Structure 1
Amino acid sequence: MPIVAQSTETTDWVSRYADEVVAEWERRAQESKSATDVLTVASGLSPSGPIHLGNLREVMTPHLVADELRRRGHTVRHVLSWDDYDRFRKVPHGVAGVDDSWAEHVGKPLTSVPAPKGSPHPNWAEHFKAAMAAALAELGVTYEGISQTAQYTSGVYRAQVLHAVRNRAEIDAVLGQYRTRKPAKAPRQQKPVDDAELAAAEGSGAAGEEDSSGGSVGYFPYKPYCGRCEKDLTTVTAYDDDSTELTYACTACGFTETVRLAEFDRGKLVWKVDWPMRWAYERVVFEPSGVDHTSPGSSFQVGGEIVSAIFGGRQPIGPMYAFVGISGMAKMSSSKGGVPTPADALKIMEPQLLRWLYARRRPNQAFKIAFDQEIQRLYDEWDRLAAKVAQSAAGAGEGDAKAVLPADAAAYARAVGTAAGELPRTPRPLPYRTLASVADITAGHADQALRILGDFDPRQPLTSLDEVRPRFDRAEAWINTQVPAEQRTVVRDEPDAQLLASLDDADREALRLLLDGLDAHWSLDGLTALVYGVPKQLAGLAADAKPTAELKAAQRTFFALLYRLLVGRDTGPRLPTLLLAVGADRVRKLLGA
């Protein structure tokens, strides 16, 4: 059954935008006899390189709004324009199978650039589209993908191209208003996500492109790709409006050609005309925009005037979306290699968690995606929310301190499923930090991992790792790919005889109390109570004694001793998990029993 978000009662941002989209759609229906029953939202991505987690906001924002509208019973079309007919601007660094020789393809359409060496895909664009499409499928994002290469080269936009060229003087006048203005500051955003901010709004990468290909003919909103070298380093030198005869010259290879634009499909409208043309063609009601496209005088603002004045359409409503940060990594863009992509994130976290990160924050709020230790805290927060939602569903009242807030419940519902139903989930979602510790300690030995996790809860023993998958696999991938080797846990093979010999009577008594209680406390909860309880016993305190500064200090000292004896350093995985992983017999050996 679909997960139903409380759209009429929540104040979450998705519901508010859905309300605005319906209102705008109804206004358009009243004003136009050609209105349709299908409500269109849109995204645009350029496969110019790895499509990173900032670009994902371009898709997730309209996806979440579209899904809310579907929950309400509307027929929604989510158009995802693959801007694969954009020019290849520069060679991204750090992409496997790519070297400096790709620089010879700068200026060509992305679909005319060879794929990286070893790729099974026919060209550059398809190579990077494939990884994103697979990630979107795993995230439960449904959309209608439109290749702009196919649209332009098949002549779908031919009428729109000819219309724009006929009205080039009017387009030039609109653009001229901004060329003569003093550049305005971009809209102020909230404070970026420290030094790990990510410019999420690269869009097609065309925001800064030239808005004309005209030479002696003056302003010209269409740019041909060269018939010899395929590059867009061309200048239109002559055009006849009656015959649509167009002559261009290529500055890259010197080739000159005369064609009839009414029959020519090897080129595209410049970005500031192309985007509003598509708004009108697809009847887009909602589309978010990145920072580079929404600052004053940029393509979104100019496009709003061009779409109405030239194409008889309307600018979509939609927010400007903010930065997405990556914990511990520098500011990124998709023109550089080594940036985390949605596929990278889905290797270490479940789709529900990644969806939640985008659903719980308004588009204009920056947030971070953790690839470091912070992922454990995020998972803890997610699991607490899941428990509160379950408790609320079981009948917790609004006055209950643990009752989930409506907006939080809505974000949770949008994360775990769509209007079509729930996403596949882990049957027994044990704590991520516990699974990561087990994966760290067992180093790929599935039988050992099952033994340890089987002792996690003796009342409901685990019988197969499938019960904790895919979360366990994600935690294992995080350990293997994101945790530095020096931070990995290696249990000692032999006791530290020198350290054991140096212990004072208090330390020896602490170890004795721990060892004596192992069998009776052999579960995660039991061992937790035991390791925290030993310092209490030594201090003559009751097991339920409230912690004091002195007690906390004693516990930290005891924990450090255990870590040194078990793994040879002062810190490590949570001690109860570590003890379960090491096993009672080996613990006794290493602690000098």
Structure 2
Amino acid sequence: MPIVAQSSTETDWVSRFADDVIAESERRAPGKPVVVASGLSPSGPIHLGNLREVMTPHLVADEVRRRGYEVRHLISWDDYDRYRKVPAGVEGVDDSWAEHIGKPLTSVPAPAGSPHPNWAEHFKAAMVESLAALGVEYDPISQTRQYTTGAYREQILHAMRRRAQIDGILAQYRTKKAPAKKSQKPADEAELEAAEGSGAAGEDDGSGGSAGYFPYKPYCGQCEKDLTTVSSYNDDTTELTYVCTACGFGETVRLSEFNRGKLVWKVDWPMRWAYEGVIFEPSGVDHSSPGSSFVVGGQIVREVFDGVQPIGPMYAFVGISGMAKMSSSRGGVPTPADALKIMEAPLLRWLYARRKPNQSFKIAFDQEIQRLYDEWDKLEAKVAGGASQAGGSVLPADAAAHSRAVRTAAGELPKTPRPLPYRTLASVVDITAGHDEQTLRILSDLDPANPLTSLDEARPRLDCAENWITTQVSAEARTIVRTEPDAELLASLDDEARESLRLLLDGLDTHWSLDGLTTLVYGVPKVMAGLDPDAKPTPELKVAQRSFFALLYRLLVSRDTGPRLPTLLLAVGADRVRKLLAV
């Protein structure tokens, strides 16, 4: 029995869309499953920008499921799209793949060494695995299968009968241009986003042929490419004649029996809305400008296919710290699989859940990931502690985003049993180079009253931190602890500096924990200034502390900065610290 939809006045964007979707579904198709949809083209690596196409409807679908409704989240794999260009930076691919441009993605060979049968399956595989890790429940639909089995035959014949009407609708938009984009982002970044739409958004709409307009594009029977021109079509017999401009092959086929071609994108998309009864499907900004596929599709689905356009929020682009708008035709764009190597699934879900679809955001692969994890841990503590937690109660929208990050209607996502601070884990694995025994020793010393007994307690967060250190941090930025004391620097120290080092070494045994060492390293400059170790810092004291910290870094790692000193001292170990700092 469906649960009554909750009021959206004090909830998040997901709940508000869920309210609308439930109301629209009950108006259109009462008693039937609620249908939401996503579309992904496996034309190359499916990146973190594409993931928003899935996460937006997933979060809404999951909220609808939580309320007791049956939901179908369709993910349409656009694997029957044409192969447009050879993406840069893909291992096992060279310029010879250009000979396949124009073929369906499922007819293009997979990159060399791939275990998958074709290009589309190769790039789908990583995304399928990532969606499972993220807890995304969906019904996959292969467009290759749909078209080549004749599932859309009646819709194709209908579109061909109504081609003049479709041409008239498209003609209303062909000369319209999108208005200039308003953006608060730096101009260069905004221009990059505006200049490059997704592949489907820029596809041919079927116009331009001397024999008239045809919304259907055959793939050539000889070279398999879609570089074909329809020269005639008979509505009564469904005979279609085409010629291939790539190889010169031509033939006449019966469209009532022919399954080797597809509707052009601006007709294909609205046809699917009507065919599947889609209630909710978002689209990127490149699909939403005047004349683009979502806008034109609304008129085509209504006037040609007697359907209804889905509720379709526009979603903004997703960026990476220091990287312009992502495109799967460029090399080196991070994918969900890349993100899941350095961050836990709930954190990645949270990034998509906490921002409205029309708000752009960035995913951190640089040092910012440490601050992001600090923010996440603070939210987790607030949610766990409720109103009594230091920092106040959690705002309803923040609590909702957290709930959507850590669980779905099917249950909780896997989590780290002992979620130690990410920056601490990163510092430790940086210093130990991932040596398990050393890592366990250090992590156990963080809280001697409740020591870690196994590294499994800190996983998968520990593995994520290690992957981040080894794949995202440059060799120059890695921490290398000295093996021998810096005799020259030690000999040059004045009496005050020597005394500060002696105070530190004398306090190691009684302060050997993360909290204890924090107190110690901040306290030494206070004692040197004649203050109590618990004294509040003054501007002068802060200068003295920074000077002391810089000295410790130079003596331990030959740099002026490094990991947090308490963590660094724990990682180096008391005996080695004494060896390197002895005066």
Cα-to-partner distance string for 1:559-588 (whole Å, 9 max, x where unaligned): 000000001111111100000011001000
Deviation at 1:452, TM superposition (A): 0.4
Q: Is residue 510 from structure 1 mapped to residue 505 from structure 2 by the alignment?
A: no
Give me the whole-angstrom Cα distance separating, in 2, the residues matched to 1:495 and 1:200.
Answer: 56
Indicate if the aligned counterparts of 1:187 and 1:295 stay in contact, CA closer than 8 A. no
Give me the whole-angstrom Cα distance separating, in 2, the residues matched to 1:459 and 1:478.
Answer: 29
104-113 or 20-29, which deviates more:
20-29
Residue of structure 2 aligned with 1:376, choices 348, 362, 370: 370
Deviation at 1:8, TM superposition (A): 5.6
193-202 or 379-388, which deviates more:
193-202
State the SS of the aligned residue for 2:36. Answer: strand
Q: Which amino acid aligns with 1:390?
A: A
Give me the whole-angstrom Cα distance separating, in 2, the residues matched to 1:234 and 1:115.
Answer: 24
Q: What's the counterpart of residue 300 of structure 1?
A: 294
Give me the whole-angstrom Cα distance separating, in 1, the residues matched to 2:9 and 2:450.
Answer: 38
| Residues 533 and 516 of structure 1: CA distance in aligned 2, closer, same or farther (over 3 Å) | same
Deviation at 1:396, TM superposition (A): 3.0
Q: What's the counterpart of residue 154 of structure 1?
A: 149
Deviation at 1:202, TM superposition (A): 8.0
Q: What's the counterpart of residue 75 of structure 1?
A: 70
Residue of structure 2 aligned with 1:120, choices 115, 118, 126: 115
Q: What's the counterpart of residue 365 of structure 1?
A: 359
Q: What's the counterpart of residue 32 of structure 1?
A: none
Indicate if the aligned counterparts of 1:190 and 1:365 stay in contact, CA closer than 8 A. no
Give me the whole-angstrom Cα distance separating, in 2, the residues matched to 1:224 and 1:187.
Answer: 36
| Residues 384 and 328 of structure 1: CA distance in aligned 2, closer, same or farther (over 3 Å) | same
Q: Is residue 169 from structure 1 mapped to residue 170 from structure 2 by the alignment?
A: no
State the SS of the aligned residue for 1:259. Answer: strand
Residue of structure 2 aligned with 1:317, choices 302, 311, 324: 311
Give me the whole-angstrom Cα distance separating, in 2, the residues matched to 1:9 and 1:530.
Answer: 49
Give me the whole-angstrom Cα distance separating, in 1, the residues matched to 2:195 and 2:403.
Answer: 26
Deviation at 1:541, TM superposition (A): 1.3
Residue of structure 2 aligned with 1:565, choices 543, 555, 564: 555
Q: Which amino acid aligns with 2:141?
A: I
Deviation at 1:199, TM superposition (A): 4.8
State the SS of the aligned residue for 1:257. Answer: strand
- What pairs up with 1:429-444 in 2 under 5 angstroms? 429-444=419-434
Q: What's the counterpart of residue 60 of structure 1?
A: 55
Q: What's the counterpart of residue 103 of structure 2?
A: 108
Deviation at 1:189, TM superposition (A): 5.1
Q: What's the counterpart of residue 25 of structure 1?
A: 25
Indicate if the aligned counterparts of 2:244 and 2:250 stay in contact, CA closer than 8 A. yes
Deviation at 1:483, TM superposition (A): 0.2
Q: Is residue 260 from structure 1 mapped to residue 251 from structure 2 by the alignment?
A: no
Residue of structure 2 aligned with 1:537, choices 527, 536, 546: 527
- What pairs up with 1:407-446 in 2 under 5 angstroms? 407-446=397-436
- What pairs up with 1:133-282 in 2 under 5 angstroms? 133-179=128-174, 181-185=175-179, 188=182, 191=185, 195=189, 199=193, 205-212=199-206, 215-282=209-276
Cα-to-partner distance string for 1:170-204 (whole Å, 9 max, x where unaligned): 1011111112x442316645536984998599886
State the SS of the aligned residue for 2:388. Answer: coil
Give me the whole-angstrom Cα distance separating, in 2, the residues matched to 1:377 and 1:401.
Answer: 17
Q: Is residue 575 from structure 1 mapped to residue 565 from structure 2 by the alignment?
A: yes
Deviation at 1:44, TM superposition (A): 0.2
Q: What's the counterpart of residue 552 of structure 1?
A: 542
Unaligned runs of 5+ in 2: none
Instruction: State the TM-score, normalizing by the size of structure 2.
Output: 0.96
Cα-to-partner distance string for 1:485-515 (whole Å, 9 max, x where unaligned): 0000010000000000000011001001100
Instruction: State the TM-score, normalizing by the size of structure 1.
Output: 0.95
Give me the whole-angstrom Cα distance separating, in 2, the residues matched to 1:161 and 1:295.
Answer: 26
Number of residue pairs matched by the alignment: 579
Unaligned runs of 5+ in 1: 30-34
Query: Aligned-residue CA RMSD in angstroms?
Result: 1.9
Cα-to-partner distance string for 1:390-415 (whole Å, 9 max, x where unaligned): 000xx639xx8521111100000000
Give me the whole-angstrom Cα distance separating, in 1, the residues matched to 2:41 and 2:93.
Answer: 18
Give me the whole-angstrom Cα distance separating, in 1, the residues matched to 2:371 and 2:416.
Answer: 18
| Residues 198 and 150 of structure 1: CA distance in aligned 2, closer, same or farther (over 3 Å) | farther
| Residues 248 and 314 of structure 1: CA distance in aligned 2, closer, same or farther (over 3 Å) | same
Indicate if the aligned counterparts of 1:49 and 1:335 stay in contact, CA closer than 8 A. yes
| Residues 226 and 296 of structure 1: CA distance in aligned 2, closer, same or farther (over 3 Å) | same
Q: Is residue 459 from structure 1 mapped to residue 453 from structure 2 by the alignment?
A: no
Q: Which amino acid aligns with 2:291?
A: G
Residue of structure 1 aligned with 2:467, choices 457, 460, 477: 477
Q: What's the counterpart of residue 280 of structure 2?
A: 286
| Residues 530 and 478 of structure 1: CA distance in aligned 2, closer, same or farther (over 3 Å) | same
State the SS of the aligned residue for 1:248. Answer: strand
Q: Which amino acid aligns with 1:106?
A: I
326-335 or 241-250, which deviates more:
326-335
